[in-house]
């Protein structure tokens, strides 16, 4: 790192060109060699790693900070082993003491009712996210939303499972990885009505402003589950764009429009899928798919 005087000219030759000599911790003029600064602080590690194995073994930073754990991953755990850190066997007279230390260390990690509530909620969040295949970044955002709700005392009188599901639904929408209310409700074992009601309450109280979900956001996920090609996906997105320009998608559920567009695209490109297959994947009824299909095929002049 250069010194704070790196933009000043050399007092001997007036040159602004300089280089850093890391072996001597000095900044020198590139033209005349005058030492301009010395005793630089090395902000790198105090050891050298020649391969990935050495780098992993010598790291001292630990795991990164995460909001998906109640203590944010900052607490330590006393492990139970027969040997100490130096590899020496622990004497029998000390094993009982270490066992008690480990037990009280675990108890102190979750001491109050609020911490127990948070630990349970975050474990539920991790379980629901695993069922839905939610990425780590979205889980972090959902954990932040739940922590904000707990801090503002919005959970009182509500089921923890419902608030967790609502926070996860809001995080998915905010991160542009949409999941339907039906999918969230099934993964969380709560009712769709409760999730929707609590989501609206959280978004109002926490001032979470989200844009309406676009039908195009569901195309790639539905198409991959149906085994459709990229051409069908592109055609479905084209149909959705025409529907949006014509105003046919306003007031309609995004999943229904996406399912109908995929169904039409599969027929147009010869990768035929039945309405029942599309319905099972998208969670939209066959009647809704038929209605959206008729509207799109008639008003956009699609030849099926």
What pLDDT digit, counting tens, does each position of 262-280 carry?
999 888 888 888 888 888 8
CATH topology of domain 1-62: N-terminal domain of TfIIb (2.20.25)
Over range 287-295, report the average pLDDT: 88
* Mean pLDDT lowest among 3-17, 248-262, 268-282: 3-17
User: Tell me, what's the pLDDT at 48?
Assistant: 59
In the annotated binding site for Zn(2+), the residues are 10, 13, 29, 32
Compare 210 and 127 and report the one with higher pLDDT.
127
Over range 233-240, report the average pLDDT: 88
Helix (H) or strand (E) holding 56: helix 52-58
Cα end-to-end distance, the chain, whole Å = 66
For residue 113 the two structure tokens come to 């009712």
216-299 shares the fold of 1-62? no
**3-state DSSP call for residue 26?**
strand
CATH code: domain 113-205 is: 1.10.472.10
User: Tell me, what's the pLDDT at 63?
Assistant: 67
Sheet strand arrangement including 35-38: 18-21, 26-29, 35-38
Say if residue 270 is exposed, middle or buried (CB neighbours under 10 Å; 0-12, 13-18, 19+). Answer: exposed
For residue 100 the two structure tokens come to 């008690």
Helix (H) or strand (E) holding 234: helix 230-246
**Predicted confidence band at 5 (pLDDT cuts at 50, 70, 90)?**
very low
**3-state DSSP call for residue 12?**
coil
Gyration radius of the chain over CA positions = 29
Lookup result for tokens 């929707």? 196
Among 133, 237, 255, residue whose Cα is nearest residue 192? 255
User: Tell me, what's the pLDDT at 51?
Assistant: 58
pLDDT digits (tens, 9 = 90+) for 42-77: 666 555 555 555 555 555 556 677 888 877 777 777
For residue 299 the two structure tokens come to 């008003």
User: Tell me, what's the pLDDT at 3?
Assistant: 43
Is 89 within 8 Å of 127 (Cβ atoms)?
A: no
In the annotated binding site, the residues are 10, 13, 29, 32
CATH code: domain 216-299 is: 1.10.472.10
Show Cβ contacts of residue 206 under 8 Å, excluding neighbours closer than 6 positions: 145, 148, 149, 152, 154
- pTM here? 0.65
**Predicted confidence band at 1 (pLDDT cuts at 50, 70, 90)?**
very low
pLDDT at 153 over 70: yes
Extents of the domains making up the chain: 1-62, 113-205, 216-299
CA-to-CA distance for 81 and 103, rounded, in angstroms?
A: 14
Percent of the chain residues past pLDDT 90, beyond the cut: 15
């Amino acid at each position: 790192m250069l010194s704070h005087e790196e933009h000043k000219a050399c007092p001997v030759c007036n040159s602004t060109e300089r280089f850093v000599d890391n072996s001597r911790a000095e900044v020198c003029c590139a033209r005349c060699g005058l030492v301009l600064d010395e005793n630089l602080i090395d902000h790198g590690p105090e050891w050298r790693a020649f391969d990935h194995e050495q780098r992993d073994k010598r790291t001292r930073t630990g795991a990164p900070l995460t909001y998906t754990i109640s203590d944010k991953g900052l607490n330590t755990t006393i492990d139970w082993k027969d040997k100490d850190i130096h590899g020496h066997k622990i004497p029998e007279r000390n094993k009982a003491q270490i066992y008690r230390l480990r037990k009280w260390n675990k108890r102190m990690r979750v001491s109050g009712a609020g911490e127990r509530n948070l630990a349970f909620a975050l474990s539920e969040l991790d379980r629901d996210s695993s069922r839905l295949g939610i990425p780590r970044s979205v889980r972090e955002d959902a954990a932040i939303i739940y922590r904000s709700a707990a801090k503002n005392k919005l959970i009182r009188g509500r089921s923890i499972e419902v608030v967790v599901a609502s926070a996860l639904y809001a995080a998915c929408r905010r991160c542009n990885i949409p999941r339907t209310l039906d999918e969230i409700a099934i993964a969380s074992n709560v009712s769709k009505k409760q999730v929707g009601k609590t989501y609206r309450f959280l978004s109002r109280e926490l001032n979470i402003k989200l844009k309406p979900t676009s039908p195009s956001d569901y195309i790639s996920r539905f198409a991959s589950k149906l085994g459709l090609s990229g051409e069908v996906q592109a055609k479905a997105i084209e149909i959705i764009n025409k529907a949006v320009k014509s105003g046919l998608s306003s007031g309609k559920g995004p999943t229904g429009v996406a399912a109908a567009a995929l169904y039409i695209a599969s027929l147009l490109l010869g990768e035929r899928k039945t309405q029942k297959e599309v319905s099972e994947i998208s969670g939209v009824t066959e009647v809704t798919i038929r209605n959206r299909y008729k509207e799109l095929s008639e008003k956009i002049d699609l030849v099926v």
